[in-house]
């Protein structure tokens, strides 16, 4: 199969050409390959130790036999499910691969759990037999509160099922060398510990062990996935003229359009690869949303008539050959004819996602150089964690949460919208098919009535990704927090609080952090029937 090709339609090619000329003059790609931090900032902090993604593909190709062998061992041990406990960068790549490929015949089914919403945790628990489930505890830092809380909970279930002596054989750790998780995994007899290269940030880690271990366990052809990634890696080399470099070209376009006011990078994808937007969204938002700047990635938005799109957009269409593309083809053609810029990336087959992962990593790093920001840190993610910890401490001391006043009318929030704004829906809910459909209806109503772009993130997952953009990016967001009444709750073994308490603390902490940044925010408490409440909200807005 060939490599994915890119085409561009639109009147603004000169913008991209100018950005490419500037990148060429500064030798940005060459310096990036040499791991020169001054491409982005004079200070090397959190840059020089975050560039391992540039050459991880070759290192991982050498690990393919080991990964395939481990997957065979797990299958022969009779495991039916693999449950990945992760957050943000360590979970969204595997989630895309799960939704795109599923599991090969006779391989275990992968489930990705990156939530503290009790209903979501219970839904996973009810789908598995703990004795025949392998849990991947996936954390770069090794101490992420959500991941470690989920580990404690499922460890107790496995202990009840198989006994305290052998429970460790149902667990695998993927982490950086020297973390508390590595120590814990060795002490508790985990089946395996995969130590990832330390110089790769979470959101750039899909082509390392974080993405490849779960992929191999489901029988995915990781050798071909890496081969496709390697082909585009070579096509993006410093020796390639910059206008023919697929990663640099896309990054120049992303950065140049954002600087010209087209900061809403809207992704449209063929249905078989529709989940790719989940991963791109966290990569771009967390990398570029800082210093009051940022590219706002728009994923999974309902396709609309061109009249409902403002002139703050650039569209990227990932088109998979062989899919039924009738509907997106027609929509994209209409969008291009209306004068919007459209980049089209043609993928010969699904395994070309390996190439797309690398293309978008490089493009995001290049876009950072165009925007003049540092794409590898996430200062505001830590801010949210700190506020959450303070909220949790107060709850543990007093038995109740602090009172935080916030408007509760989505309509009043949206009446403040202006051209170039966007609505971020932050849903602390379990994404059932009914809830997903209702949220799509809500986004459609907002686009038709207010003509603004919309994003959707499930909490607390998005705190580790788009949460950085919300607080560190430009102030053109309207933030709608949706929280549910808890009909179910689950204790966390060894802690004085439950999953419901942790989730509520994260929502309140994020609300406080947004208010501290002066963001326009509303908080709506849904009853117990989340989908019908959201549909009612959509009808009122329409």
Q: What is the DSSP string of 72-135?
A: HHHHHTT--EEEEE--THHHHHHHHHHHHH---TTSPEEEEE----HHHHHHHHHH--GGGEEE
> What's the confidence (pLDDT) of residue 88?
87
The terminus-to-terminus CA distance of the chain in angstroms comes to 46
State the Cα–Cα distance between residues 230 and 207, nearest whole angstrom: 10
Q: Who has greater pLDDT, 383 or 335?
A: 335
Whole-angstrom distance, CA of residue 441 vs CA of residue 539: 9
Tell me how far apart the alpha carbons of residues 264 and 268 are, in angstroms, rounded to a whole number: 13
Average pLDDT of 219-231? 98
Average pLDDT over residues 205-210: 98
**Are 208 and 53 within 8 A, CB to CB?**
yes
Smallest CA-to-CA distance from 110 within 15, 190, 231, 211 is with: 211
Residues of the chain with CATH 3.40.50.10490: 5-34+239-371, 56-225, 379-541
| Structure-model confidence comparison of residues 485 and 367, the more confident one | 367
C-beta of residue 307 within 8 angstroms of C-beta of residue 260:
no
More confident residue, 13 or 78: 78
pLDDT tier for residue 444 given thresholds of 50, 70 and 90: very high
Q: Give residue-wise pLDDT tens across range 451-482.
A: 999 999 999 999 988 999 999 999 999 999 99
Q: What is the pLDDT of residues 76-115, one digit of tens each?
A: 999 999 999 999 888 999 999 999 999 999 999 999 999 9
Q: What is the mean pLDDT of residues 201-214?
A: 97
Give tens-digit pLDDT for 128-157: 999 999 999 999 999 999 999 999 999 999
Band of the pLDDT at 9, cuts 50, 70, 90? Answer: confident
Q: How confident is the model at residue 4 (pLDDT cuts 50, 70, 90)?
A: low
Q: How far apart are CA 379 and CA 44, in angstroms?
A: 15
As a CATH number, domain 379-541 is 3.40.50.10490
Tokens of 145: 């509160």
- What pLDDT is attached to residue 348? 96
User: Which segment of 280-294, 348-362, 388-402 scores lowest on mean pLDDT?
Assistant: 388-402
Contacts of 471 (CB under 8 A, 6+ apart): 380, 383, 384, 513, 514, 517, 519
Three-state DSSP class for residue 497: coil
CATH class of 56-225: alpha beta
Structure-derived torsion over alpha carbons of residues 332, 337, 341, 344, reported in degrees to the nearest 10: 40
Which carries the bigger pLDDT value, residue 527 or residue 63? 63
Average pLDDT over every residue of 367-384: 93
CA 537 to CA 61: how far, in whole Å? 50
CA angle at 335 for the pair 331 and 337, rounded to the nearest 5°: 115
% pLDDT > 90, the chain: 93
CB atoms within 10 A of CB 7: 11
Cis peptide before 531 (omega within 30 of 0): no
DSSP state of 26: T
What stretches of 399-432 show up as alpha helix (H) in DSSP? 410-414
Separation CA 290–CA 302 (nearest Å): 27
Reply yes or no on domain 5-34+239-371 having CATH 3.90.480.20: no
Q: How far is CA 293 from CA 244, 258, 263, in A?
A: 28, 9, 9
Residue 1 has pLDDT above 50, yes or no: no
> CB within 8 A of 53, min separation 6: which ones?
200, 201, 204, 205, 207, 208, 361
| pTM confidence score | 0.97
Which pLDDT does position 488 carry in this prediction?
Answer: 85
328-338 pLDDT per residue, tens: 999 999 999 99
| Residue 235, H or E segment | helix 222-235
**What is the rounded distance in angstroms from the CA atom of residue 307 to the CA atom of residue 299?**
19
pLDDT band at 535; cut points 50, 70, 90? very high
**Taking 60 as the threshold, does the pLDDT of residue 506 lie above it?**
yes
DSSP-H helix ranges across 239-316: 246-259, 276-288
Residue 513, pLDDT above cutoff 70: yes
Evaluate whether 214 touches 111 at the Cβ level (below 8 Å): no
CB atoms within 10 A of CB 348: 16
Per residue in 274-303, pLDDT (tens digit) is: 999 999 999 999 999 999 999 999 999 999
Residues 344, 87: Cα–Cα separation, whole Å: 30
CB proximity list for 73: less than 8 A, separation 6 or greater:
none
Phi, psi of 86 (to 5 degrees): -155, 180
Cα dihedral 89/93/99/101 (nearest 10): -160
For residues 542 and 535, give the distance between their C-alpha atoms in angstroms, rounded to a whole number.
11
Helix (H, G, I), strand (E, B) or coil at 369: helix
Q: What angle do CA 141, 122, 470 make, to 5 degrees?
A: 50
- Say whether 498 sits in a helix, a strand or coil: strand
Q: What percent of the chain has pLDDT over 70?
A: 99
Model confidence pLDDT, tens digit, residues 156-193? 999 999 999 999 999 999 999 999 999 999 999 999 99
Segment (H or E) for 162 = helix 145-162
Say which residues have a Cβ less than 8 Å from residue 187's Cβ, sequence separation at least 6: none
Q: Exposure pattern of 219-239 as b/e (b: 16+ CB <10 Å)?
A: bbbbeebbbbbbbbbebbeee
For the segment 6-31, the average pLDDT, to the nearest whole number, is: 92
Separation CA 443–CA 423 (nearest Å): 9
Neighbour-count burial of 161, counting CB atoms closer than 10 A to its CB (0-12 exposed, 13-18 middle, 19+ buried): middle
pLDDT beyond 60 at 2:
no
Rounded distance, CA 522 to CA 302, Å?
23
């Amino acid at each position: 199969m060939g490599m994915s090709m890119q085409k561009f339609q639109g009147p603004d090619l000169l913008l991209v050409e100018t950005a490419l000329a500037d990148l060429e003059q500064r030798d940005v790609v060459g310096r990036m390959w040499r791991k020169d931090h001054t491409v982005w900032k004079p200070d090397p902090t959190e840059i020089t130790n975050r560039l391992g993604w540039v050459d991880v593909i070759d290192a991982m190709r050498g690990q393919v036999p080991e990964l395939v062998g481990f997957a065979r061992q797990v299958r022969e041990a009779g495991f039916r499910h693999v449950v990945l406990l992760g957050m943000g960068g360590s979970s969204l790549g595997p989630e895309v691969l799960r939704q795109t490929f599923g599991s090969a015949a006779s391989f275990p089914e992968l489930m990705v759990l990156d939530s503290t919403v009790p209903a979501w945790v219970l839904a996973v628990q009810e789908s598995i037999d703990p004795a025949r489930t392998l849990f991947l505890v996936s954390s770069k830092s090794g101490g992420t509160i959500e991941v470690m809380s989920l580990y404690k909970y499922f460890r107790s279930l496995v202990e009840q099922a198989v006994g305290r002596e052998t429970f460790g054989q149902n667990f695998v750790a993927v982490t950086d060398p020297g973390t508390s998780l590595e120590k814990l995994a060795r002490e508790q007899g985990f089946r395996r510990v995969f130590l990832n290269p330390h110089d790769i940030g979470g959101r750039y880690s899909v082509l390392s062990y974080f993405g490849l271990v779960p992929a191999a366990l489901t029988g995915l052809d990781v050798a071909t996935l890496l081969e496709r990634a390697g082909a585009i890696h070579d096509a993006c080399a410093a020796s390639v003229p910059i206008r023919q470099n697929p990663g640099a070209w896309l990054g120049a376009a992303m950065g140049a359009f954002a600087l010209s006011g087209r900061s809403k990078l809207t992704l449209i994808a063929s249905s078989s690869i529709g989940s790719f937007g989940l991963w791109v969204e966290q990569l771009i938002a967390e990398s570029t949303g800082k210093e009051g700047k940022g590219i706002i990635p728009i994923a999974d938005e309902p396709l609309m008539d061109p009249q409902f799109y403002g002139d703050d957009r650039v569209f990227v269409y990932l088109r998979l050959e062989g899919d039924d593309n009738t509907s997106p083809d027609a929509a994209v053609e209409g969008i291009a004819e209306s004068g919007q810029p459209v980049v089209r990336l043609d993928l010969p087959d699904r395994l070309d996602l390996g190439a797309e992962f690398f293309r978008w990593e490089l493009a995001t790093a290049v876009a950072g150089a165009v925007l003049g920001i540092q794409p590898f840190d996430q200062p505001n993610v830590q801010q949210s964690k700190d506020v959450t910890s303070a909220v949790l401490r107060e709850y543990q001391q007093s038995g109740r949460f602090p009172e935080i006043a916030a408007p509760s009318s989505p309509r009043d929030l949206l009446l403040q919208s202006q051209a170039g704004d966007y609505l971020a829906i932050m849903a602390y809910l379990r994404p059932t098919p009914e809830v997903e459909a209702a949220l799509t209806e809500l986004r459609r109503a907002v686009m038709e009535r207010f003509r603004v772009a919309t994003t959707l993130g499930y909490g607390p997952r998005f705190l580790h990704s788009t949460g950085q953009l919300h607080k560190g990016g430009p102030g053109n967001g309207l933030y709608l927090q949706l929280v549910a009444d808890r009909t179910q709750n689950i204790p966390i073994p060894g802690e004085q609080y439950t999953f419901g308490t942790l989730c509520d603390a994260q929502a309140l902490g994020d609300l406080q952090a947004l208010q501290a940044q002066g963001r326009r925010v509303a908080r709506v408490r849904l009853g117990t029937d989340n989908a019908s409440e959201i549909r009612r909200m959509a009808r009122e807005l329409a």
